[in-house]
Structure 1
Amino acid sequence: MSEEVRTRPAADQRTRRRFARRQWARRWGAWRWGVTTVLAVGLLVGAGWLVFVSSVLAADEVTVTGTSYLTEGEVRDAAQVPLGTPLARVDLGLVERRVEALPAVAGATVTRSWPHAVDIVVTERTPVAVLTVDGTIMGMDAEGVLFREYARAPADLPDIRTTGATDRRVRQEAASVIAALPDAVARQVDHLEVSSIDQITLALRDGRSVLWGSADESATKAKVLAVLLQRKGQVYDVSVPAQPTIRS
């Protein structure tokens, strides 16, 4: 038997082995993608169950910051965070709207604090004046919103006294006037007399008065008034700031 005949079976066997390896590699390549896909889907399903369904990452705490007038308990009660619900499913926008419905709240920010907490940051309204409504002294902010009660009027807040309607537009006009006053002038104001949105008068602590008119051009009126108050007089009229007058 020639050498060529003896080596042919060995060569055929090596060829078959190489062919078998290539076949296995092709099959494994197909299986590998399938196995990888199944594992990836399983991980996603498991992660989704863990985050959105299970109680492992459930909301069980509510933190509240930014309050001074309101209590943390009042904010939590208004927020109605569904404790025990998976944290990822808590509707943060709904919680914000509930908190912002509180009269004393100007704004609220609600966030998730993983793994178990909902954080509420409150911005309360700031009083700029007080208004007595049905015998109750109410604090009013710069937007004309009545949001809190006082047992006694704070000495540093001007009082708003009305002889007509006290709807929000009227209150906003009065608040705009107060906001325009320089600190030095604001400290001299005892109260505002509001007959209508066009008839606002400042009553100063020393008995003098300022005819302001409407809230239009309040910034200009405030500058003019700061100069006029340096002159003697009893009634200062800045309702038309380009033509102010002083009466004894």
Structure 2
Amino acid sequence: APVPPERRRRRLSRRGLLLVPAVLLAAVVAFGGWALYASSWLRIDRVAVGWAGDGPRVLEADRIAAAAAVPVGEPMARLDKDAVRDRLLEALPRLKDVEVVRAWPDRVVIKVTERQAVVLVPAQDGFAEVDIDGVSFGVVPEAVPGIPLLSLELEQNAGLRRFGEERIVTAAVGVVAALPPALHRQTEVVRVRSYDSISLELAGGRTVRWGSPEQTEAKVAALTAVMKAAEEARYFDISVPSAPAAAVS
């Protein structure tokens, strides 16, 4: 049977109503794509550098921004944050972590964390800075007060073959990092002969036989107690923390 004209008009009207939202949606999507990638509204115009936390701030902001090589003038949506982060970590070993943030509409914020030296290792041009992870990240021309020197005197034995120099250094650095602030300030040299032979040379000619880097928390507690009990002592042995010893000479 033929469709009455009134019903045909109603069907056409409904189709028109359905087409309107689809057209509007397509227009919105097209406009959004244009705004993100083609317009001048959302392009990178500025790069800001900041530091996370209260750690060291040795690097200059201009140097960090230059190494980041953020593509100023490019659409913000095309910014490859991982690539910026990787460039910075590769170019500036002093950086421990980098966070890259899009600050819409036109600013990129780079937040960095610099490595902090736990010990210094004598090097050809001065002293290499080594952080808590055992990473050597920079060289200073002179020793820095308050940062102990790490003296490696590794013996060629089974322990060195088993643990390897890198692991031994990292373990020794961990010992220094675990020291209470007052004891850390007194520590001048960390002498390492093997994984099981670590000793600390403190201010005033005092020496601590630490032993292995294991049981660090117990050894810190034992050393604190025995130093308090034997204030005149110059030699302390906490290699077995349950039986610490002290001697005047």
Shorter-chain TM-score: which interval? 0.7 to 0.9
Counterpart amino acid of 1:86? P
The whole-number CA distance in structure 1 between the counterparts of 2:216 and 2:107 is: 46
Native 8 Å contact 2:150 2:189 kept in 1: yes
Deviation at 1:35, TM superposition (A): 2.9
Partner in structure 2 of residue 50 of structure 1: 35
Partner in structure 1 of residue 157 of structure 2: none
Counterpart amino acid of 1:128? V
Deviation at 1:243, TM superposition (A): 2.4
Asked whether 1:86 is paired with 2:84, we answer no
Native 8 Å contact 2:118 2:132 kept in 1: yes
Asked whether 1:97 is paired with 2:86, we answer yes
The whole-number CA distance in structure 2 between the counterparts of 1:59 and 1:235 is: 62
Larger mean CA deviation between 52-61 and 68-77 belongs to 52-61
Q: 1:167 to 1:58 in 2, by over 3 A?
A: farther
Correspondent of 2:218 among 217, 220, 230: 220
Matched position secondary structure for 1:174: helix
Correspondent of 2:17 among 29, 32, 36: 32
Partner in structure 1 of residue 44 of structure 2: 59
Where do residues 144-183 of structure 1 align in structure 2 (5 Å cutoff)? 144-164=134-154, 167-183=165-181
The whole-number CA distance in structure 2 between the counterparts of 1:172 and 1:53 is: 50
Can you give the 5+ residue segments of structure 2 that lack an aligned partner in the other structure? Answer: 155-159
Deviation at 1:215, TM superposition (A): 0.9
Counterpart amino acid of 2:61? E
Deviation at 1:113, TM superposition (A): 0.9
Asked whether 1:115 is paired with 2:100, we answer no
Larger mean CA deviation between 51-60 and 204-213 belongs to 51-60
Structure whose CA Rg is larger: 1
Native 8 Å contact 2:76 2:106 kept in 1: yes
Identity %: 32
The alignment's TM-score, normalised by the length of structure 1, stands at: 0.84
Q: 1:138 to 1:189 in 2, by over 3 A?
A: same
Paired residues, number: 230
Partner in structure 2 of residue 4 of structure 1: none
Matched position secondary structure for 1:229: helix
Native 8 Å contact 1:145 1:168 kept in 2: no
Partner in structure 2 of residue 190 of structure 1: 188
**Cα RMSD for the two superposed structures:** 2.2
The whole-number CA distance in structure 2 between the counterparts of 1:213 and 1:98 is: 40
The whole-number CA distance in structure 1 between the counterparts of 2:47 and 2:219 is: 47
Partner in structure 2 of residue 203 of structure 1: 201
1:171-196 CA-to-partner distances (Å, cap 9, x unmatched) read 31122111221222222211111122
Partner in structure 2 of residue 141 of structure 1: 131
